[in-house]
């Protein structure tokens, strides 16, 4: 897939987002953002945030009750009896996770495309206006850090530092307490999905410049970088010493965390999107055209399943099951087993 085609894919997706947010009926599409907590799933999709029972896929509540001129697709985040969800109309909402009523809201200058990170009693919320907003749990601004381009990916953190990738091709290390910049590193390509932070303090970042890059969190030193033939619209997943991810040509990779060298590759024939999910026995990839493919940790194909619709993010694991967020399908959410068998499908009420 050449650069022009890659750019076209993102242009079409963004056009869908923009047209949807401007239409009264919200007839377009976004891709669902999913989070789980106990026996409840929280899903941000189109005009609503939903709370859904894990047992049978029935709706507990939705916010707002009636569709409005906005759209949600970043996964909500639960913290201390509040659910944080941002919309495309520039408002970050705090909702009661039991009832769906609003606690407070915070307005920025751009759309909320990525999920926030919550750490140290602070909400770190990246916005399309290029700013990372640090809020207390009551929605009050503590500090703001501004990059030169939009922030489309969720930050990651390791105690006292938050790491934020930007569409300006840079990753920033920012002090959680004050918002002061510790270091920044030009990666040479924009970042759509979040970096992956390992337990030993390494950041693994996939860029639209067709590179996978390993960055030391201490000082931003690039430990290695690997160039690929196609763009990476994927967040790496880690299992032991292997990184799993895919590219827009439809190839899935297992590479070494040490130097990025191939351990195995597997052709999935369609663009691989989002972050693959590591289960006890497999790594499950999602492709844009609606296919789930489970591979063994050594790259052998175990099973595949076709979902009606488009998949722009990987599955979310819940116990021994997988939650699938679906765009342009009959349903925005499906629950399957880790062997690919259907459990239930969520159909939003009219």
The total number of structural domains in the chain stands at 3
Contact 225, 205 (CB under 8 A): no
pLDDT averaged over every residue in the chain = 91
- Residue where a domain terminates, one of 227, 257, 289: 227
* 127 found inside a domain: yes
Residues 66 and 160 in one domain: no
Cβ burial, residue 104 (10 Å; 0-12/13-18/19+): middle
Contact 313, 275 (CB under 8 A): yes
Contact 239, 283 (CB under 8 A): yes
Buried b (16+ CB within 10 A) or exposed e, 131-149: bbbbbebebeeebebebee
* 91 found inside a domain: no
User: What pTM was estimated for this model as a whole?
Assistant: 0.90
Residues 25 and 60 in one domain: yes
* 103 found inside a domain: no
* 28 found inside a domain: yes
Q: What is the pLDDT of residue 192?
A: 86
Q: What does the block give as tokens for 145?
A: 């850090």
Q: Which of 175, 136, 139, 138 is nearest to 155 (CA)?
A: 175
Domain that residue 266 falls in: 233-350
pLDDT in tens, 99-152: 999 999 999 999 999 999 999 999 999 999 999 999 999 999 999 999 999 999
* 286 found inside a domain: yes
Residues 350 and 280 in one domain: yes
The sign of the torsion formed by the CA atoms of 85, 212, 197, 39 equals positive
Give the domain CATH number at 342. 2.40.128.630
Q: Give the pLDDT band (50/70/90) at residue 22.
A: very low
pLDDT in tens, 164-198: 999 999 999 999 999 999 999 999 999 988 999 99
Give the domain CATH number at 19. 2.40.10
Rounded to 5°, angle at Cα 50 from 340 and 309: 40
pLDDT in tens, 206-258: 999 999 999 999 999 999 999 999 988 889 999 999 999 999 999 999 999 99
The backbone torsions φ and ψ at residue 15, rounded to the nearest 5 degrees and listed phi first, read -60, -40
Residues 158 and 179 in one domain: yes
Contact 325, 317 (CB under 8 A): no
Residues 130 and 190 in one domain: yes
What gap in Å lies between CA 135 and CA 39, rounded to an integer?
Answer: 28
pLDDT at 5 over 70: no
Cα 303 to chain centroid distance, Å, stands at: 24
Q: What does the block give as tokens for 31?
A: 């891709």
Distances (CA, A) of 135 to 49, 113, 139, 212: 21, 17, 5, 31
What gap in Å lies between CA 287 and CA 200, rounded to an integer?
Answer: 30
């Amino acid at each position: 897939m050449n650069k022009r085609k890659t750019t076209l894919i993102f242009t079409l997706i963004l056009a869908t987002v923009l047209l949807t947010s401007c239409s009264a009926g919200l007839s377009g599409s976004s891709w669902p953002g999913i989070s789980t907590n106990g026996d409840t799933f929280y899903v941000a999709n189109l005009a609503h945030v939903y709370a859904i029972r894990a047992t049978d896929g029935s709706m507990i509540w939705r916010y707002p009750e009636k569709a409005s001129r906005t759209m949600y697709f970043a996964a909500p985040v639960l913290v201390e009896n509040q659910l944080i969800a941002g919309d495309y109309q520039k408002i970050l909402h705090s909702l009661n996770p039991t009832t769906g009523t609003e606690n407070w809201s915070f307005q920025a200058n751009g759309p909320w495309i990525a999920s926030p990170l919550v750490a140290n009693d602070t909400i770190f919320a990246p916005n399309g206006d290029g700013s990372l907003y640090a809020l207390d749990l009551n929605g009050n601004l503590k500090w703001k850090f501004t990059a030169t381009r939009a922030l489309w990916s969720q930050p990651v953190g390791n105690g006292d530092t938050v790491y934020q990738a930007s569409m300006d091709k840079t990753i920033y290390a920012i002090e959680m307490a004050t918002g002061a910049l510790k270091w920044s590193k030009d990666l040479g390509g924009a970042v759509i999905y979040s970096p992956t932070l390992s337990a030993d303090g390494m950041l693994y970042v996939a860029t639209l410049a067709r590179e996978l890059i390993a960055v030391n969190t201490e000082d931003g030193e690039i430990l290695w970088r690997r160039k690929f033939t196609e763009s990476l619209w994927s967040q790496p997943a880690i299992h032991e010493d292997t990184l799993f991810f895919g590219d827009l040509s439809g190839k899935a990779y297992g590479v070494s965390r040490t130097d990025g060298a191939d351990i195995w590759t597997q052709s999935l024939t369609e663009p691989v999107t989002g972050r693959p999910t590591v289960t006890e026995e497999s790594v499950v990839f999602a492709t844009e055209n609606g296919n789930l493919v489970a591979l063994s940790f050594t790259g052998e194909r175990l099973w595949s399943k076709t979902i009606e619709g488009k998949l722009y993010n990987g599955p979310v694991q819940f116990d021994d099951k997988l939650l699938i967020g679906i765009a342009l399908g009959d349903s925005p959410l499906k629950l399957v087993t880790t062997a690919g068998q259907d459990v239930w499908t969520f159909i939003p009420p009219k």
